[in-house]
Amino acid sequence: MKKWSVAYNFNLNDEIDINEAMELRIGKDPRAGDLHCHKSCFEGKSGSRLLTIRKAINRKAHFRRWPGEYTKANTNCSYQNISDSKRESMDYSQFYIRFQNFINGESKNTEPYFIHEINMEPVGEFAPDFTIYHTKNNPYGFSQTKIHIIDENKRRRKKIGLTRVEGNVAIIVIRISEYTPEQLKNFKRGGIEKFELNWKYVIKDTTQKKNPARTKRSELLSHGSVRGKDLRGVDLNGADLSRVDLYRACMTGVDLTGADLSYANLHSADLRNARMSNVNLTPGYLFKANLTDADLTGADLRNAYLGGANLAGANLTGADLTAADLTDVTWNNTTCPDGTNSNDN
């Protein structure tokens, strides 16, 4: 029995989710307006009329086809054919159509996806829902990106796995099984932005694989503690050091330009002469950190704790210190965010 979380309401001329429909019901009457599986099906005199089904033990509220309303020949809509091809839900097929409209609207042969052509034939349970064939001149070295949308089919979930890069093929997996009806309606967030985040992940992954030094640095710093380690000479430019424990780490003169140090522990870290322009330190913990002569231009220090830190000679031009704790900070010949010298204030 097919179930829907979102339906087309003729009376409102709009899609509504099951929770919105339940609010339109009167008592136990299952009607919530003239409901159909999809607007296109309604206009084409195909598909199914729907009714609302209440939530019960081990059952979520959902839309279901009215019994006996349609003959076998016109029960199915194109959406159902899509869901049947992957043994998936109607929520899957609705998400599929929305994603199809999105990806078809993206620019060809240029950033961000360098699309040459798109294969959208949903053939085979484990086949990709979409395959993007990339232009040969794309900077990422991808020949294809295979996109899988997964909802209720556990066999697909197990076999396909997670977003990753395999050789010159990117595999992006978008799981919608945990989405609420409201979240399924918000395709901008749950579809477009989810895809963009996965795309950025595979780009970052392939970039690191092409740069062994960055991969080694990531392995060294992204997991666990490097408390008290001597990191002088290590290139940390743009590194992801979020939540890393750098207590008493020696980073004198280290290049941290554009690095992500959000939630990092920099208690008593030696950051003298460090290059830290445009670094993310919100909220960073820099209690008693030595930032003498450090370049902190454009740094994000919102909500950072700088109690007892030494900022003598540091350059904070353009830095954001909103809500930062500056208790007992040492100011001496420090360039303030507005460009003035601390000695003149």
Please write the tens of the pLDDT for every residue from 24-56.
Answer: 888 777 778 888 888 888 888 878 888 888 888
Least confident stretch, 144-158, 176-190, 217-231, 331-345: 217-231
Most confidently predicted of 50-54, 84-88, 132-136: 132-136
In 3D space, the residue among 287, 254, 251, 286 whose CA is nearest the CA of residue 270 turns out to be 251
pTM for this predicted structure: 0.55
Which pLDDT score is estimated for 111?
85
Give percent of the chain with pLDDT exceeding 90.
44
Q: How confident is the model at residue 173 (pLDDT cuts 50, 70, 90)?
A: very high
- The span from the CA of 330 to the CA of 131, in Å, is 57
Domains of the chain: 3-76 (no CATH), 84-210 (no CATH), 212-345 (2.160.20.80)
What six digits make up the tokens of 56?
């019960």
Q: How confident is the model over 302-326, as a mean pLDDT?
A: 94
Cα-Cα-Cα-Cα dihedral sign, residues 127, 129, 134, 140:
negative
What's the pLDDT at 55?
86
pLDDT in tens, 55-84: 888 888 888 888 765 444 445 677 888 888
Mean pLDDT, to the nearest integer, of 171-191? 92
Assign 212 a pLDDT band (cuts: 50, 70, 90). very low
Residue identified by tokens 């609207």 is 105
- Computed over every residue of the chain, the mean pLDDT equals 86
Cα separation, 168 vs 133, whole angstroms: 11
Q: Report whether pLDDT(213) > 50.
A: no
pLDDT at position 191 is: 94
Which span out of 30-39, 153-162, 292-301 was modeled with the highest average pLDDT? 292-301
pLDDT, residue 74, reads 44
> For strand 35-36 and strand 6-9, is the pairing parallel, antiparallel, or unpaired?
antiparallel
Structure-token match 């409201």, residue found: 182
Q: Which helix H or strand E contains 132, and what residues bound it?
A: strand 130-134
Residue in the structure block whose two tokens are 């795309």:
199
Task: Give the model's confidence band at 211: pLDDT under 50 very low, under 70 low, under 90 confident, else very high.
Answer: low
* Cα(161)–Cα(163) distance, integer angstroms: 7
Strands lying side by side in the sheet with 130-134: 115-119, 130-134, 144-150, 169-175, 164-166
pLDDT digits (tens, 9 = 90+) for 235-272: 788 888 888 889 999 999 999 998 888 898 999 999 99
pLDDT of residue 192: 95
